[in-house]
Amino acid sequence: MRKYLMIALFSFLSQQITAQAYEGSIEFSKKKQDAYIIDFSYLPEAVENALTKKMESLGYKTKEEKGLFNKDKGFRVYKAAYITDISSNSMDYIFKVERKSRKEKDEAQLFMVIMKGSENVIKTFDSYDVGNAKRFLNNLLPEVEAANLELQIKDQEDVVVKSEKKQRTLENDLDDMQKRLKKLQDDIEQNKKDQENQKKDIINQKNALENLRSKRRSTL
């Protein structure tokens, strides 16, 4: 029991250590933009769901950039939003969740760009503002873990549904086989009766034949 607790604690602490925001950049609106980035050892979908839920809890519905030829496709834009954990001023918060790499499909990166109009304001942040922005991303970890759990639950629900469907199919197949078996058993019993009747008929026909032959001998 202690071994499993230690493994769970190590996993939790590892997440706490690795899920730390840092500074970087990403291309948005045809420009290389300063951004805050955080890596999560969870599916991108879990991070997307956690971010959307977090922003909804702050009163903001997401607007996702779409379009086949839209280079900003996949970015989530929150115009003139107040995230008081970061700043008391309204800002344009732009987020993007990406898979960390082709090989690391269960690893995600979350980018956060902060703008005011067309200007990226990250460079104007002092150390206090930077700390707030990074802390906001760091504090998303519980929401990401919860969102990931919901995905696991949904996946397991799908597995249960498929398993139950297979069980119903097997039960229906068994019912059909039992019906066919019952018919086969009835046919076997009928065949036995028919054979008995046929044997009696053969005896009767042989007797009739013997009677006819006996008449032939008597006339000689």
Read off the pLDDT band of 7 (50, 70, 90). very low
**What one-letter code names the amino acid at 79?**
K
| Tens-digit pLDDT profile for residues 43-62 | 999 999 999 999 999 999 87
Alpha-carbon 25 to chain mean position:
31
Which is more confident, 159 or 14? 159
| Tens-digit pLDDT profile for residues 180-189 | 999 999 999 9
For residue 99, pLDDT over 60 is answered with yes
Read off the pLDDT band of 131 (50, 70, 90). very high
SS3 labels along the chain? CHHHHHHHHHHHHHHHHHCCCEEEEEEECCEEEEEEEEEECCCHHHHHHHHHHHHHHCCCCCEECCCCCCCCCCCEEEEEECCCCCCCCCEEEEEEEEECCCCCCCCEEEEEEEEECCEECHHHCCHHHHHHHHHHHHCCHHHHHHHHHHHHHHHHHHHHHHHHHHHHHHHHHHHHHHHHHHHHHHHHHHHHHHHHHHHHHHHHHHHHHHHHHHHHHHCC
For residue 17, pLDDT over 90 is answered with no
pTM attached to this predicted model = 0.71
What is the pLDDT, as a whole number, of residue 73? 83
Q: What are phi and psi of 31, to 5 degrees?
A: -135, 155
**What one-letter code names the amino acid at 213?**
R
Read off the pLDDT band of 219 (50, 70, 90). low
C-alpha closest to that of 129 among 92, 174, 83, 66? 83
